[in-house]
Amino acid sequence: MAKNIIIYYSRKGQNYWNGGIKNIAKGNTEIVAEFIQTAVGGDLFEVETVKEYDADYYKCIDEAQDELREGARPELKKYLDNIDEYDNVFVCGPCWWGTYPMAVFTQLEKLDFTGKKVIAVMTHEGSGLGSSERDLKKLCTGATFGKGLSVHGADAAGSESTVAAWAKKQA
């Protein structure tokens, strides 16, 4: 049976939500990542930065934009050293300025994707998958790619059946 790893980044606290700011106890992407795990099994790996982003949504937006412009690779609290034991790699993140938070790239750049199937998952407030699939195709040399899924962040909690049906086709 194929083995899955679900790599995700997700922000708790202040986030953009249907045109306003809302405090969320669990990040939208974390909710979706857990739905994937429930549907197809596998291990979850959370990407967490050493330096916390500002709790204020608008300040975080600016920090994230600076990081994107600089091509920053923020340091992580822990790293996944390899993905040798896995067949499928779900890469889940919120859309930050059109792509994954830079911390996701910090982790991905440490891995060898040869022979793996990579699948993009993005929660968003309007940008859909953004450039996530293109970015993964550039980065994950030697991998094959599944069909990515975008989930509107505010609808994450109600997306379980959609996510499960899609995930079963990918894994």
Ligand X SMILES: Cc1cc2nc3c(=O)[nH]c(=O)nc-3n(C[C@H](O)[C@H](O)[C@H](O)COP(=O)(O)O)c2cc1C
Question: Rule CB under 6 A: which residues touch ligand X?
Answer: 10-11, 15-16, 27-30, 60-61, 64, 94-98, 123-127, 153
| 4 vs 29 by CB, closer to ligand X | 29
* Nearest distance in Å: CB 150, ligand X: 9
| 115 vs 126 by CB, closer to ligand X | 126
Dihedral angle computed from the Cα positions of residues 85, 87, 90 and 91, in that order, rounded to the nearest 10 degrees: 70
| 41 vs 98 by CB, closer to ligand X | 98
What residues pair up with 96 in beta bridges, in sequence order? 99
CA gap 60, 55 in Å, rounded: 7
* Nearest distance in Å: CB 12, ligand X: 7
Residue number, nearest CB to ligand X: 153
Q: CA Rg, the chain, in Å? A: 15
Residue with tokens 């709790």: 55
CA gap 132, 9 in Å, rounded: 13
* Nearest distance in Å: CB 119, ligand X: 17
Residue with tokens 């909690």: 157
Q: Which two tokens stand for residue 116?
A: 């793996």
* Nearest distance in Å: CB 142, ligand X: 28
| 129 vs 143 by CB, closer to ligand X | 129
